[in-house]
Amino acid sequence: MTRVGQQVYQHTLANGLVLLAERMDHVRSAAINFLVPAGSAFDPQGQFGVASVLAEMITRGAGDRDSRELSLALDNLGVDRDESVGAVNMRFWGSTLARNVPAALDIYADIVLRPHLPEDELEPVQELALQDIKALEDAPQSKVMVELRRRYYPPPLNKDRRGTAEDIEALTIDAVRAQYTNSVRPNGAILSVAGNIEWEPLKAQVERLFGDWKPGAVAEANPLPHTATSAHIEKDTQQTQIALAFPSVPVTDPDYYNARAAASVLSGGMSSRLFTEVREIRSLCYSVYAFHETFKTQGTMLAYAGTRAKFAQRTLDVMMREFHRLKAGIETDEIDRVKAGLKSSLIMQEESTGARAGAIATDWYYLGRVRPFDEIQAIIDGLTPANIMSYLERCPVRDVSLVTLGPAALTITAEADVEAAVAAADTVAAEEAAKEQAGEPA
């Protein structure tokens, strides 16, 4: 049960492409994770959604293979794969037997460097992108988070990958090709592989495949000045969807793990505060959680709940009260549970090729290095209530952006009033329950 020495390798090609690998001796699989800074943030004005269209087009023929031949080649290797677009990065992900990684990388080099971007595939891809936009209308849980991020984050970080129907419909093949040329570059890109791999042959192959990739000017996703806003989206749903966000610290900040620990005190397990107060004690909703999210430039605390309209204001009040109440103090045993949960997650991550390929790339993207397990473990071990309290003083609950979706709007109760609001609602609920038990209509 001793931790086997971590075997992490790194090499930067002359063109800027960063290759990362983690060798895991006792597995037979490997995962590939390729981040290219070509996410939605770089969608030009009037072309919102072009990054997503490009991510779908880029696999429709590349190198010597047409669209179908590419799919066949990757399926022949048993590659479980996915191409996706985030705010900053376009991501190519594949997982298969370690011995198939070299052949898979040959194909990914074609996809990234030599895509055909054929004109006759544009219309079908546009149609799919429009379907994706329509589907969001039928998924209120997802939609409320999209609408929150749209209002909370500064441009260009606030763009949703789906773009807009108008822009998607107006896209030309030239625009898609221009987006490829302008955004798919080796500088800023990170290719990571984790699993039962051999470093030297991998490095040599990546040099051979990607060494000639030309670097170029790469846009930066610099956030513009912005004031977060709130909104209610009226919709005839059974449940009211509640999503909120307010500023925290980014992953580069020394307080990052204190912020994550604060989120875990609220939402890190079934004994956590939000789960206990909202779900267990008051039965206000089936699903409630808070989490921390980060860009290079900013970190954010977010929270979600979905509940019946008649419970929605009370749910929001309880959530806000719990956020405010953090600064009244955190118990040592709460932090011990947070530590136990974070350690358990870390161990799970160590055992998964997919999780490790993702983690080493993410570390490099944000920090320019891969954090050893022992370093993360030491940070977790070092968490204290005092350090978290000092983070909470630095980043109190303020400038909350609230987006709701459902039959009726909600309001954020002022901090000074929230305790009384929760108490009053609890009293009303207790009275109604007593009446109901006595057989009167509630």
Nearer CB in complex with its own copies: 11/325: 325
Give yes or no for residue 353 binding its own copies (CB under 8 A).
Answer: yes
Give yes or no for residue 6 binding its own copies (CB under 8 A).
Answer: no
Which residues, listed in sequence order, are joined to residue 246 by a DSSP beta bridge? 301
Give yes or no for residue 345 binding its own copies (CB under 8 A).
Answer: yes
Provide the minimum distance between the beta carbon of 237 and its own copies in the complex, in angstroms, as a whole number. 5
Provide the minimum distance between the beta carbon of 410 and its own copies in the complex, in angstroms, as a whole number. 17
Q: Are 335 and 388 in contact (CB under 8 A)?
A: yes
Contacts of 305 (CB under 8 A, 6+ apart): 241, 242, 278, 284, 285, 287, 288, 289, 315, 316, 319
Site string for its own copies, 89-128 (x = CB under 8 A): ------xxxxx-----------------------xxx-xx
Site string for its own copies, 276-295 (x = CB under 8 A): x--xxxxx-xxx--------
Q: How far is CA 16 from CA 22, 36, 207, 386, 391, in A?
A: 20, 12, 11, 41, 36
Provide the minimum distance between the beta carbon of 285 and its own copies in the complex, in angstroms, as a whole number. 6
Nearer CB in complex with its own copies: 340/420: 340
Q: Are 396 and 328 in contact (CB under 8 A)?
A: no
Provide the minimum distance between the beta carbon of 357 and its own copies in the complex, in angstroms, as a whole number. 13
Give yes or no for residue 203 binding its own copies (CB under 8 A).
Answer: no
Q: Tokens 């009033």 correspond to what residue?
A: 417
Residues within window 127-146 making contact with its own copies, judged by CB under 8 A: 127-128, 131-132, 134-135, 137-141
Alpha carbon distance 130, 137 (integer Å) = 11
Q: Chain-centre distance of CA 111, in angstroms?
A: 24
Provide the minimum distance between the beta carbon of 48 and its own copies in the complex, in angstroms, as a whole number. 18
Nearest to 98 by CA among 24, 17, 172, 209: 24
Provide the minimum distance between the beta carbon of 7 and its own copies in the complex, in angstroms, as a whole number. 14
Provide the minimum distance between the beta carbon of 124 and its own copies in the complex, in angstroms, as a whole number. 4
DSSP 197: -
Nearer CB in complex with its own copies: 157/261: 261
Q: Which two tokens stand for residue 167?
A: 């822009």
Residues within window 391-430 making contact with its own copies, judged by CB under 8 A: none
Give yes or no for residue 149 binding its own copies (CB under 8 A).
Answer: no
Task: Kindly tell me which residue out of 14, 170, 204, 347 binds its own copies, with binding defined by CB under 8 A.
Answer: 347
Task: Kindly tell me which residue out of 179, 230, 239, 362 binds its own copies, with binding defined by CB under 8 A.
Answer: 239
User: How big is the chain, counted in residues?
Assistant: 442
Provide the minimum distance between the beta carbon of 36 and its own copies in the complex, in angstroms, as a whole number. 20
Give yes or no for residue 432 binding its own copies (CB under 8 A).
Answer: no
Contacts of 281 (CB under 8 A, 6+ apart): none
Q: Which two tokens stand for residue 95?
A: 């997982």
Alpha carbon distance 410, 146 (integer Å) = 18
Residues within window 365-394 making contact with its own copies, judged by CB under 8 A: none
Task: Kindly tell me which residue out of 7, 84, 172, 238 binds its own copies, with binding defined by CB under 8 A.
Answer: 238
Q: Are 109 and 43 in contact (CB under 8 A)?
A: no
Nearest to 36 by CA among 221, 189, 210: 189
Residues within window 247-276 making contact with its own copies, judged by CB under 8 A: 268-272, 276
From 63-71, 147-155, 220-228, 356-364, give the range in contact with its own copies by CB under 8 A.
63-71
Alpha carbon distance 361, 350 (integer Å) = 14
Q: Are 402 and 320 in contact (CB under 8 A)?
A: no
Nearest to 80 by CA among 54, 104, 51: 104
Give yes or no for residue 438 binding its own copies (CB under 8 A).
Answer: no
- Which helix (DSSP H) or strand (DSSP E) does residue 245 occupy? strand 239-248
Q: Are 151 and 231 in contact (CB under 8 A)?
A: yes
Give yes or no for residue 79 binding its own copies (CB under 8 A).
Answer: yes
Provide the minimum distance between the beta carbon of 139 and its own copies in the complex, in angstroms, as a whole number. 7
Give yes or no for residue 336 binding its own copies (CB under 8 A).
Answer: yes
Task: Kindly tell me which residue out of 343, 400, 413, 426 binds its own copies, with binding defined by CB under 8 A.
Answer: 343
From 111-119, 226-234, 306-314, 394-402, give the range in contact with its own copies by CB under 8 A.
306-314
- Strands of 118-180 (E only): list them: none
Provide the minimum distance between the beta carbon of 221 and its own copies in the complex, in angstroms, as a whole number. 26
Provide the minimum distance between the beta carbon of 327 and its own copies in the complex, in angstroms, as a whole number. 22
- Strands of 6-114 (E only): list them: 7-12, 18-23, 29-36, 80-85, 90-97
Nearer CB in complex with its own copies: 190/403: 403
